[in-house]
Amino acid sequence: MFPNPDCDVLGRVVGLWRYPVKSMAAEALSQVDVSWHGLAGDRRWAFVRDGVANSGLPWLTIRQRHEMWRYQPRFDDPERPDRSPTQVTTPDGQSLDVTDPTLASELAPGARVIRQDRGVFDTFPLSLITTQSIAALGERVGRELDPRRFRPNLLVQAATDAPFQEDLWVGHVLRIGDLCLRVDKRDGRCVVITVDPDTMERDAAILRTVNADREGCLGVYGSVTVPGRVALHDAVRMEHGT
C-alpha cells in the first residue's frame, strides 16, 4: 500500500475533519485549505458559558454537555467558510443560524456565541493522530474506538504497524499535500475522549488508560510553517533537515 519504507513517506491521510463550532460534531472533508490559523473554517465559533467569561476556559464543551456531539454545523459555502453563514442542525432536525439565540438557550442557560477569525483553539491549530495509536488503545480497553472520539483534524494511517509513531515526529516538520506542519507537542487528553460520538455514553476507562499508559497523551498537536491544501490520501513526508 505504501512506497518503499526506506523513503521518507511516513503514512497517508485517511481522515480529514474540521469543527466549525467548538465541541459540536465534525465536518468530514475530502480536501481543504490550511492557513496559518488551521483548516479553513475550523473552530471559528464557540459558545461561552454564563458567568465564566473571564476564566481561562470559558467555553461550553462536551465536558459539560455531551449532547453537543449531536449538533451538526455546516457552512452554506464550504469552499469559503470564513465568508459564509454557518448553520447548525439540532438533534430534533431544526436548522438554525449559529447566531440564533434559540440555539444558545437550547445548549445552556445564559450561553452566548462568539466568533474568532483565528479559531478558538485550546492550544495549537492542528491535531493529528494515527490509526495505529487508536487501534492500540482500543486493544487495551477491549473494544474498537471511533477515531472521531479524539477529534483530530488529520487521521494518518502510518506506513508501519507500530503504534504511537506520531510521538517520534515531535520537533519535526511534515509535508502533507501542499502544507508544511511542525509537530509541536503531544496531545494531552481530557474527559472529552470518554464520550462516544454516537451514543453519548461515557467510558472512563479510556481516559484512565491514556493517563496510566501514555502520560495522559495520545496524538500530537502542530502548527503551520507553510500554508497549503491538504486532501484525503495525501502522503505524509518528513521534511529533510528537521
Give the contacts of 45 (CB within 8 A, at least 6 positions apart): 20, 21, 22, 73, 86, 98, 113, 114, 115, 116, 120
DSSP assignment string, the chain: --S-TTSSEEEEEEEEEE-SBTTS--EE-SEEEEETTEETTTT-EEEEPTT-TTSS--B--TTT-GGGGG-EEEESSTTSGGGS-EEEE-TTS-EEETT-HHHHHHHSTT-EEEE-TT---SS-SEEEEEHHHHHHHHHHHTS---GGGG--SEEEEESSS-TTGGGGGTTSEEEETTEEEEEEEEEE--GGGGB-TTT--B-HHHHHHHHHHHTTEEEEEEEEEE-EEEETT-EEEEPTT-
Give the global pTM.
0.93
CATH number belonging to domain 9-17+123-238: 2.40.33.20
pLDDT confidence of residue 1: 40
Question: What are the pLDDT digits (tens) for 155-214?
Answer: 999 999 999 999 999 999 999 999 999 999 999 999 999 999 999 999 999 999 999 999
Cα 7 from Cα 45, distance rounded (Å): 40
pLDDT confidence of residue 3: 41
Domain ranges of the chain: 9-17+123-238, 41-115
- Average pLDDT of the chain is 93
**For 109-113, what is the mean pLDDT?**
93
Residue type, 198: D
User: Which residues face 180 on adjacent strands?
Assistant: 175, 226
Q: Is residue 88 pLDDT above 60, yes or no?
A: yes
How sure is the predictor about 4, in pLDDT bands with cuts at 50, 70 and 90?
very low
Report the interhelical angle of 131-141 vs 204-214 (nearest 10°). Answer: 110
**For 113-121, what is the mean pLDDT?**
87
Question: What are the pLDDT digits (tens) for 26-44?
Answer: 999 999 999 999 999 999 9
